[in-house]
Structure 1
Amino acid sequence: MKIIVRTFAGFEEILAKEIFQITNLNPEIGKRAVYLEGNLETIYTLNLWCRLALDVLVELHHYKASNEDELYNGAYEFVWNNEFSIHETFSITSVVNSPFFNHSKYASLKIKDAIVDQFNKKIGKRPSVDRENPDHKFLVRISHDQVNLLWNTSGDSLFKRGYRTMTGIAPLNEVLAAGILNFSGWDLKRPLIDPMCGSGTFLCEALMLARNIPPTIKRKSFGFMNHKDYDHGLWEKLKAKSLQEINNNQPTIMGFDNFNEMIIASRTNINNVLPNNNCKITFKDFFDLEPPLENPMLILNPPYNVRIAQEKNHLFYEEIGSRLKHTWSGSDAWILSGDLESLKHIGLRPIRRIKLFNGPIETKLVHIPLYKGSKKDKYR
C-alpha cells in the first residue's frame, strides 16, 4: 500500500525522521507530507505513534482526467464496496491544482456521484453522505491531469490526542507543540518551563515525549476501525505493546499562568495524560516569576489579541524581552508568536528562526539563548 502522511509545512524532514524511528522505513519527503510503502501494521503504528502527523492516508486509485467525464469515469472504475458498505456514511474533500478543474467542491461532487451511482447499480441502494461525522473520509487530490483517490485512515486529525478535556480561548495545536519540542532539541533531562502555559499543551506533549507515551493512546476511534479489513486483534496487540514501552523517567516539567481557569485546565489535561505525574503547574504572572531552578529551557507562546492596539502588543513584547534578559540568564528561550511585528520588539537576537503555521496563521518560532554575562564569556 502507498501511504501518505500529512503534516504542517516545515515539519516534513522531522516527520520523516520520526517515521524512520517508529517503523525503520525511509519515507520520501514531499510538500506538507511524506510518502512510504507499508501494510496494515504500518498504518496502525503510524496512527498510534506519530506525534508530528496530521493524518495518515492510503492511495486507493490513481488515474488521469482532463475533463469531468474522465474524472467521473475514473472514480466509477474503482470497486467502492470493497472499502465500505451501503449502511455506512462517507465524505469527500478535494485538493485541486489543475487547469482542467477550477473548483474543489465540484470535483468532490463528481466523485461522490460516481460512488453512489456505482452502489446504486450494483446493490440498488445509495450510501449516505455525512459531512460532519462520516464513517469514512476520502480525499481527492488533483494535480494537473493526475487524480489520486485517498482514504483517510485516521478519521479525525491526529492532533486530537484524546487528553484535552479543557481548553483556553486559542489552544495550541498538539502536533505543532510536538514539532516545536522536536525543533528545540530538548534532551528530556533539562528542566522545561512554560511560563505562559494556557491549557497546558506544551506540558502535555513534553510529558508524553519524556515518558514515551503513545500520543493517541487515549483516542477511542480512528478511520481504519470502520474498514472491512480492520484487524481488531492486531490493533489491540500494538496498543498493548506500546503500553509496555512507557518508561519511568521523571522529567522536570513546570507550567505557570496568571489565570486560574488556565491552571485548572492545565492540571486537568496533564492528569488525563498521566495521573500522579510529577509536573508542577502554579498560578504566577510571568512578570513576577523568578527562575525556580537553574539552566531551564523556556517555551513560550505569548497570548495575542488582535483587538488590542498594535502599540500595546509591541510594549508587551518589549517587557517580555526585558524580563527574559534580566531574570532568566543562563536559560534558553524558544518563543512561538503569530504577531510577527511585535516579535521584532523583543529586543533580543535569535540564533534561529523557523517559519511555521498555526492553522491559517503564519507564525515564527525563534530560539534565543539567554547568556550569563556577555557572549564572549559564553565561549571562553
Structure 2
Amino acid sequence: MFVKPPEGPALEKLSAWKVSSYEWSDDFGLEGLDRTIEQSLVYYRRLPSTYKFNYNGQIYSPSEMAASLEIFKEIITTASGDELARLLGERFQFFESINSDREAFFTGYYEPILKGSSVPTEEFSEPLYAIPGDLIEVDLGKFSEKWKGAKIIGRMDGNRLIPYDSREEIVDGNSLEGRAVPIAYVDGIELFFLQVQGSGLISFPDGRVKRVNYAQKNGHPYSSVGRLLKERIPPEDMSLQSIKAYLHEHPDEVRGILNYNKSYTFFREVEAGPIGYIDVPLTPGRSIAMDRRLVPQGGLAFIETEFPLIDNGVIIGWRPVRRFVLVQDTGGAITGHGRVDIFTGRGEDAEITAGHLKQKGRVFLLVAKKEYLAECLSEKN
C-alpha cells in the first residue's frame, strides 16, 4: 500500500475562497504601515529592472512589486472588514509559508543600547570591529551556474584563499589586531548579543552615541548557544535574558559557550536605522526577517502569533497578534519556510519581547495579481 510521505516546508497558494473568508484584521490599527511600505518602495525604486522576485515560479519585476504595494495601500485606505477581505481576494494572490510542522515559528530581535569606550578599559575590553581590509567575499555563481547565489568568505594566505578567522581566533587569539579597525570597545558578553541582534547603539561616557549596523560576517556557520545550554537552562526558562544571566553567573564557562558559535559579525556606523538587509530603516512591529533565499525581500506579509503582555518589566500573559508586515530583513538563523523574526524596536519592553518570543503561528505572503498590476502600471505610464 502506498503511503504519501509527510510534506516538508513549502510556500502554498491559498484559494480565492480561503482569502475572501479569512479575517485580515490588524491589531496595530495599521499604525506605521504606510511608513514601512514606503521603505520597501524606496528599495524597489533603486533596483535594476532586470532584478527578479519569485513567488512559487511566478516572476515579478521591481516595478511590479512596487505597484503591488501601491494597490495594497489604496485598498486598506478605502476598505475594511468583509470588503477588505473581498478586495484582497480579488486582487491579490496569497501564499502560506509553512515549516515541516505545517505552521510557522516566530522569534524576535531588537535594537540594544550598549555602554562603551573609544579606548580599551577594564570594563570595556573587547573591540567592536569594522570590516577587516583583508576579508574577501567570493560570489561562486560567477564560476558556475550551479553555484548561483552561493558565496564564501575568506582571506588570502600567499596565493591561496583560506577560511576567515573564527570567533575563537578573533576573540581569544586577538588575531585581528592591526588588521581591523575597532569602532568602539564594549563588554564581551554584550558584544556577542549585539552580533546576534545585528544592530544597536553604543553610548560613550562623554554623551556621544554611535549607531552601528551589520556589515559582514566571517563566513563561519551560525550556531545557537541556546541549543548548547538546553541541558543547563530548562526549556520553559530559555530566553535571551536567562542566557545572559547564566553567562554572568558562570564566568569560567563564558569563552567556551560563546566560541560554540564560530560566526562573528562586523559592523558599520550608520546615521539612521537600524537598517535591514534591503538597506532601509526597520519599523518596530512591522518589519520582519525571513529567509532571503526563499522569500521575496521587501514584500508584503500577514502574521498571526502571540506577543507577551508586559507590566513593569514582568510578563503577565500573552496576547494574540494579527497584522500586516513587510519582509525587510534576513538573518543567519532565519532559514527555511515558516521561519519569522520580528523586529520589536528599542527599550526594555522590546528586549523582553524579543528575548522571550518563541511562538508558533502562521505567516502569509501576498502579492497583487498580474492583471491588476498591468492596469496600475499602464495608468502610471
Structure whose alpha-carbon radius of gyration is higher: 1
Q: TM-score higher than 0.5 here?
A: no
Structure with greater helix percent? 1
| Greater RCO (Cα-Cα under 8 Å, separation 6 or more) | 2
**TM-score bin, normalised by smaller chain:** under 0.3
Structure with greater strand percent? 2
TM-score normalised to structure 2 length: 0.24
